[in-house]
Each structure stands twice: as structure tokens, then as C-alpha cells.
Structure 1
Amino acid sequence: MRLNTATVRSEAGVLATNKVLRNTYLLLSMTLLFSAATAATAMVLDLPHPGLIITLVGYFGLLFLTNMFSNSALGLVFVFALTGFMGMTLGPMLNMYLHAFSNGHQLILTALGGTGVIFMGLSAYALTTRKDFSFIAGFLMVGVLVAFFAGIAALVFSIPALSLAVSAMFVLLMSAMILFQTSQIIHGGETNYILATVSLYVSIFNLFTSLLQLLGVFGGDD
């Protein structure tokens, strides 16, 4: 009887994990498409970038609301508000690359392709090996904070070398974040698909923009 009970609980846990994983990837796909649509709209309308302060306030404000309502239907509304807002801020950046570099289209497509390959490769690795990457949580927290404040310093004081170093740091950190978040879902550390989606979306967004900046420096043809 104990064996049967343990088996039932184990199967229930697997089913719950698979449900979170399925819902996460479904919502992630939808938010990425929505974000791409808002980015394209911003590009077509040639909207200016809202600036650092508005971007940070909008991002952290919507992120806070998403976390607050992550267990209700309102959480889905704020997820799309957050990803749509981030897409709107991405549009002006893409236009800048198209105008600043003669091979701007190639740079954007290369960054997009690289982001897709890295995400799918790391996700597949975490899913197939089922390794627990929870041990890198502390490293990620410290690394992201350091990279975030270094990035702000690079923008405020206009230090190109520091900005380049931050982009390289974010490529590594966001890659590790994808491994960590996927592992959390697999091992039951993350049971809320809305929060899992936001984490993966932000990782993909930062990975793409960081790769694009690196490609612009090393492969740009202005």
C-alpha cells in the first residue's frame, strides 16, 4: 500500500511538472510573438526610445505587478503588458542598428538566430540530463546585480569598454539563467508558470540584446 501511494504521488508530481513546463513554453511562445509584434509596430512608427528612467520604471513596475498577481488571471494581463512594453523599447534599438550599419539586417538576424540556438540547446540539455542547477542561484543573483549596476554606469558615464564587458557578462549570465530556470521547473522548484515564463522571457530578451551589441561592435559594417 505504501509503495502504491508513493507511486501515485510520484506520478502526480511528474504530471504537475509536465503541466507547468507545457504551460510555460506555451505562454513563452505567445509573449515572444506579442513582443515581436510591438517591436515591429515601434519600428514602423519610428517611435523614439523612452529613455533609461522610463524604461526602468516601466520594467520594474510591471515586473512587480506580474509577481504580485502571478496566482490570478491578472497575472497573465501583466505578463503581456510587460513583454509588450519591452518589445516597444526594443523597436527603436533595432531601428538604430538598421540605420547605423549597412549590414544591420544581418546583425539582427544573426543575433536572433544565435539566441534561438542557445535557448533551445540549453533547454534541451537541462531537459535531457535533468541535472539540478539550483546550486548556481547565489552566483546568478550576485552576477546579475553586478552586471546591472555596471551597465547603468556604462550608460551614465559613456564607457564603451565597460558596456562591452557588461554585454559579454549578460550573455553568460542569461545562458546560466536559462539552465537554472528550466532545472527549477523540472525539479519542482518553480510551480508557477507565469513566473517561470517571465524569467525565461527576460533571459531571452537580455541574451538577444547583448548578442546584438557584441555583433555590432565586432561585426558591424558602418
Structure 2
Amino acid sequence: MNEQNYAINLGKTQELEVSAMLRNTYGLLALTLAFSGLVAFLAQQMNAPRLGFFMVLIGFYGLFFVTVKLRNSAWGLVSTFALTGFMGFTLGPILSHYLSMPNGGQVVASAFIMTALVFSGLSAYVLTTRKDMSFLSGFIVAGLFVLFGAMLVGYFFNISGLQLAISIGFVIFASACILFQTSAIVNGGERNYIMATISLYVSIYNLFVSLLQIMGIMSSND
């Protein structure tokens, strides 16, 4: 009887922890997305220059490293907003490029709507089924190296169709990351809401930019 009560109490405790984790993660995610969107809008309005590939990598991984180190303190929230603000700044010039196209507004709006639908659908699937997606870890690691290698090749060589292939690959990669991270939150694999927020934010960012590139390429071919 005592063992049964212990199991029930343990289950309730875990359920409360998951609920709190989801609430904190999605609350912070909403704030960082709003902040990032504001910074992107300001950067777009100011015609901010597009940062170089390696500058973006250095800025992102530098701020990401700081956030990992500070994830268990209040300063982790500061570095989280610094990181997402930086990513928002890099998004500004990208938006300016697509908005300058004849149907740029439609391209941006379509990419935004599709990103919201994909993220909502994948998140709802995991939250409803509570399916363990840890099996995707190997695919995510392999995909990261493949995509990074393809980006380096695309940076130094002009290969027809490579950019489209990379963008499609990032859509699949980002979708897998959303499934994996949401599952980790639900099933107890992730208990730090700052790291969970950063992971989901980066996946949403990559998903949006990739869909933007795909639709931009398709639109320019019409």
C-alpha cells in the first residue's frame, strides 16, 4: 500500500514538474520570439547590413556558450535575450532582401504562417501522444554535420541547386529538433527551461529562414 501511494505521489510530482517546465519554456519562448521579432523589424527598418557567414557563427556560438554556462542563474535569462536578439538582428537584412522582391510580402507571410503551423502541429503531436523521440538524436547529430559541410561547400563554390537542397534539409532537421526537444521536456530528459527555450527558438529560426529561402527560390523561378 505504501509503495502504491509512493508511486502515485511520484507520478503527481513528475506531472507537476513537467507542467511547470512547459509553462516556463513556452512563456520564455514567446517573450524571446517577440523580442527577436522586434529587433528584426528595427534592423530591417534601419537597413542594417547583412553579417558574414563566419561572423554569424562566431556571434551565435559565443552567446550560446555563455548561455550554457549561465543557464542555472538569473544571468542566463539575460544571455538568452542577448542571443535571440542577435539572431533577430541577423534576420533583419534577410527580411529586407525578400521584401524587396515583387511579391516579397507574400513570400514572408507564407513562410511565417507555415512555420507557425509546422511548429504548432509537431508540438501538439508530441504533447498529445507523449511519444519518446530520443531515437532522433543520432539523426540530428548526423544531419548537423552534413548540413554544416554543405553550407561550407556552398560558401566557397557556386553549385546549382545546392542552396535549395540545404534549405529543404534544414526544414527536415529543424522539424526533427522540435520533436526531439519537446519530447525531452515531456518525458523528463530536459529540466532546464532556458536550454529548452534556446533549442526550440533555434529550430523555429532555422525553420522560418529555410522556408523563406525555399519560397523565395520558387517565386523567382515563376
Q: What is the Cα-based RMSD across aligned positions, in Å? A: 1.2
The residue number in structure 1 matching 2:107 is: 107
Q: 1:160 to 1:77 in 2, by over 3 A?
A: farther
The residue number in structure 1 matching 2:138 is: 138
Say whether residues 1:74 and 2:75 are aligned partners. yes
Say whether residues 1:123 and 2:152 are aligned partners. no
The residue number in structure 1 matching 2:209 is: 209
After TM superposition, list the pairs within 5 Å mapping 1:113-192 onto structure 2.
Answer: 113-192=113-192
Give unmatched runs, 5+ long, in structure 1. none
Q: 1:201 to 1:160 in 2, by over 3 A?
A: farther
The residue number in structure 2 matching 1:25 is: 26
When structure 1 is superposed on structure 2, of 124-133 and 142-151 the one drifting more is 142-151
What is the CA distance between 1:64 and its match in structure 2? 0.6
When structure 1 is superposed on structure 2, of 150-159 and 116-125 the one drifting more is 150-159
The answer to whether the Cα contact below 8 Å between 1:102 and 1:221 also exists between their aligned partners in 2 is: no
| Secondary structure class of the residue paired with 2:98 | helix
The residue number in structure 1 matching 2:93 is: 92
Letter in 2 for 1:97: Y
Letter in 1 for 2:82: A
Please give the alpha-carbon distance, in whole angstroms, between the structure 1 residues aligned to 2:204 and 2:66: 20
**TM-score, normalization by structure 1:** 0.97
Please give the alpha-carbon distance, in whole angstroms, between the structure 1 residues aligned to 2:160 and 2:85: 28
Aligned length: 221
**TM-score, normalization by structure 2:** 0.97
Letter in 2 for 1:23: N
What is the CA distance between 1:216 and its match in structure 2? 0.6
Please give the alpha-carbon distance, in whole angstroms, between the structure 2 residues aligned to 1:204 and 1:150: 20
After TM superposition, list the pairs within 5 Å mapping 1:185-200 onto structure 2.
Answer: 185-200=185-200
Say whether residues 1:8 and 2:31 are aligned partners. no
| Secondary structure class of the residue paired with 2:161 | helix
Tell me which stretches of 4 or more aligned residues in structure 1 moved more than 4 Å. Answer: none
Q: 1:194 to 1:160 in 2, by over 3 A?
A: farther
What is the CA distance between 1:221 and its match in structure 2? 7.3
What is the CA distance between 1:78 and its match in structure 2? 0.7
